[in-house]
Structure 1
Amino acid sequence: MKDLLDAIVENNRHWTQYGNVATYIPELSKGNAHALGVYVYDVDGNEYSSGDYDVKFTIQSVSKIVSFMCALMDNNFEKLCTKISVAPTHDGFNSIVNLETKNSHKPLNPMINSGAIATISMVKGDTPEDKFNRILDFMKKITNNPNININHDVYHSEKNTGDRNRALAYFMKSTRIIGDDVEWILDVYFKLCSMEVTCKDIAYIGALLANDGVLPFNGERVTTKDICKIVKAVMTTCGMYDGSGEFAVSVGVPAKSGVGGGIVAVVPKKMGIGVVGPALDKKGNSIGGIQILKDLSNRLDLSIF
């Protein structure tokens, strides 16, 4: 596996020159566009890595998986669906158009910005600190990394430039999708997106889902198989934004991307895969990371379809 990963990373490094780091969050523009790495963690506890796998990056929208799991543990699926749908979208991850024109003003799914903001409002906690710590503590537990915390420079950069997310949140407040104070829900959202991780951390998230809610490193069940099934299904249809359909065809596994350059992929019953490549395509997905996952899926026949 190590030799295979080394070959795949080197064969796909050239893709990074065709993407661009995110700039709409100014601090993300400092990312290394040429970084590319992968980490594989299987359900038997075996670990493999290659390339720039130890590069730190902010988790961004990959955090939506963790928020979604917490919301599902705190509410049943039917209750969550009164506020958020699980339908794919062909629009961008920060689009506002569907909130106004479709689906009784509900966000289309938890994997886009509006849906993630609404998801946080359904996580248990009487204060923003309670909600943030609920999700952060779960994140630390499932990654076996007690040192995960936020990158304060990215957090402040996101908070200072997050007017599109404010527009989404205030619209949802006006339609009663969100009942909490908008600014403190947004503060939780910005902090969660700013958590600093490596490929290993997000591969561990993928492995938990691959193992149906049981942590491979100690055998502890931390969530239910049913919740993992829901999360994996939504990742498959919505996790790569408006590139989800193409990704399902070319790679064929549940995945979630973030504009920090990370992608977590889940091979059910087998492994979690974390990749990093801050150079993004036009849809906000790591351009080199997708190519790594394509090659790995083809070589190991990982597609679930």
Structure 2
Amino acid sequence: MVSDAEEALVQEQLEQLHDHHADQHDEDIVSIALPAAQDEEDIFGLAGTAVDGTQWTVGDCEHRFPLQSISKVVTYALALEDNGRETTLRHVGVEPSGDPFNAIAFDDEHQRPHNPMINAGALVAAYLVHGDTLDEKVGRILARLRAFTGVPDLVVDTDLLADQLASADRNLAISYLMRSLGMITGDIEDNLAVYLSMCSVRVTTCELSVLGATLANGGVNPLTGERALDAGHVRDVVSVMMTCGMYDAVGEWTTDVGIPAKSGVSGGIVAVMPGRLGLATFSPGLDAHGNSVRGQAVFRELSDRYGLHMFATPDQTRFGRLGRTGGPRLTRA
């Protein structure tokens, strides 16, 4: 269990991180992807949830924003559960593509998208989710997202969905090309609506951190005790987040930060530290790769200053620890 002293220490560390980065990085912002967020550049939330349910929030953690590509994590999780690892792998790979997230490019050797964290792969993952109708598929993925976050009233923002469907030409092009190549079958527009419906669900930074904590806790939501995903599939999902979750900047992320994570063009990032906690940030200003500028800066400092890189040695880990070797490690007692 997280002690009172450690809970207070982590809160202090997160507040320092938030304060340090809140007024910086404006010059590094290339774009804000969503038109509705153009006036939200200064919104900045940082939240964490430990595997014992302890939570920390700093900044604008109750602001709701669309999941966008972060929803790919949940869609892929359900595709794995519905089809098994081997069948899913035949349809969508696990290799980083090196291309932008919306690239019209495939793994030509295996006739499949490179991975489920880019648009082509996410469209195939939506196709693989079981269900006879669009509504059934959306309902099943949404139910799984509710289990991951512990929020029973999450819904699709239908206005946002309509906007996204009206500007989906590139995703339609990817979909029709994949159907022509035999990667998917059936109604292309329904499948696209499944994918974009999940992109259009709004969450808070705190709720997103619970999704990360559920993965960190082996698939069991630490707040509700509900199992959201089998532990074996959790390993697959977190592994793909590590290798493919940060678009075409994943190599730099893995080297510099070394924490499994998934970003979305709305400005969210969710990260998973297995056995310890989930962390999430929201700030809508993006870099050229489509990743949140402030969010990345926070995670880089978590890695550099507090030793949360997956290859950091125990003596380098300072986050939530009361000294070099003493104190708990944000794990269950």
Q: TM-score range by the shorter chain?
A: over 0.9
Percent identity, aligned pairs only, is 37
Q: How does the TM-score come out when normalised to structure 1?
A: 0.95
SS state of the match for residue 40, structure 1?
strand
- Distance (whole Å) between structure 2 residues aligned to residue 249 and residue 85 of structure 1: 22
- 1:143 alignment partner in structure 2: 149
Offset at 1:131? 0.5
- 1:65 alignment partner in structure 2: 73
- Distance (whole Å) between structure 1 residues aligned to residue 52 and residue 306 of structure 2: 17
SS state of the match for residue 263, structure 1?
strand
Which structure has the larger Rg? Answer: 2
Offset at 1:29? 4.7
- Distance (whole Å) between structure 1 residues aligned to residue 228 and residue 69 of structure 2: 22
> Are the counterparts in 2 of residues 199 and 276 from structure 1 also a CA contact under 8 Å?
yes
2:158 matches 1:152: yes
- Distance (whole Å) between structure 2 residues aligned to residue 171 and residue 131 of structure 1: 22
- Distance (whole Å) between structure 2 residues aligned to residue 59 and residue 16 of structure 1: 23
Q: Deviations over 1:65-97 (max 9, x none)?
A: 00011001101111011111111111100000x
Deviates more, 1:219-228 or 1:177-186: 219-228
> Are the counterparts in 2 of residues 70 and 123 from structure 1 also a CA contact under 8 Å?
yes
- 2:324 alignment partner in structure 1: none
- 2:83 alignment partner in structure 1: 75
- 2:58 alignment partner in structure 1: 50
Offset at 1:180? 2.3
- Distance (whole Å) between structure 2 residues aligned to residue 249 and residue 28 of structure 1: 33
SS state of the match for residue 179, structure 1?
coil
- Distance (whole Å) between structure 2 residues aligned to residue 188 and residue 81 of structure 1: 20
- Distance (whole Å) between structure 2 residues aligned to residue 195 and residue 239 of structure 1: 19
RMSD of Structure 2 on Structure 1 (CA): 1.4
Offset at 1:233? 0.6
Trace 1:73-222 onto structure 2 (pairs within 5 A). Answer: 73-96=81-104, 98-99=105-106, 102-222=108-228
Q: Deviations over 1:156-187 (max 9, x none)?
A: 11110110000011111111111121000001
Q: Deviations over 1:133-171 (max 9, x none)?
A: 000011112211112112233211111011000001111
> What amino acid is aligned across from residue 60 of structure 1 in structure 2?
Q
Deviates more, 1:276-285 or 1:139-148: 139-148
- Distance (whole Å) between structure 2 residues aligned to residue 158 and residue 102 of structure 1: 29
- 1:35 alignment partner in structure 2: 43
Offset at 1:222? 3.0
Q: Give the 4+ runs in structure 1 shifted more than 3 A.
A: 20-23, 27-31
- 1:5 alignment partner in structure 2: 14
Of 13, 18, 23, the residue aligned with 2:28 is 18
Give the gaps of 5 or more residues in structure 1.
none
- 1:285 alignment partner in structure 2: 291
Deviates more, 1:218-227 or 1:201-210: 218-227
> What amino acid is aligned across from residue 55 of structure 2 in structure 1?
E
SS state of the match for residue 271, structure 2?
strand
- Distance (whole Å) between structure 2 residues aligned to residue 143 and residue 216 of structure 1: 9
Deviates more, 1:190-199 or 1:7-16: 7-16
> Are the counterparts in 1 of residues 94 and 114 from structure 2 also a CA contact under 8 Å?
yes
- Distance (whole Å) between structure 2 residues aligned to residue 60 and residue 10 of structure 1: 26
> What amino acid is aligned across from residue 152 of structure 2 in structure 1?
P
> What amino acid is aligned across from residue 308 of structure 2 in structure 1?
L
Of 286, 295, 304, the residue aligned with 2:301 is 295
Specify whether residues 214 and 161 from structure 1 end up closer, same or farther in structure 2 by C-alpha distance, changes over 3 A only.
same
- Distance (whole Å) between structure 1 residues aligned to residue 236 and residue 39 of structure 2: 32
Q: How does the TM-score come out when normalised to structure 2?
A: 0.87
- Distance (whole Å) between structure 2 residues aligned to residue 105 and residue 95 of structure 1: 15
Offset at 1:102? 2.4
SS state of the match for residue 52, structure 2?
coil
Q: Deviations over 1:176-230 (max 9, x none)?
A: 1111210000011111101011111211111111111112123333322110110
- Distance (whole Å) between structure 1 residues aligned to residue 142 and residue 69 of structure 2: 14
SS state of the match for residue 81, structure 1?
helix
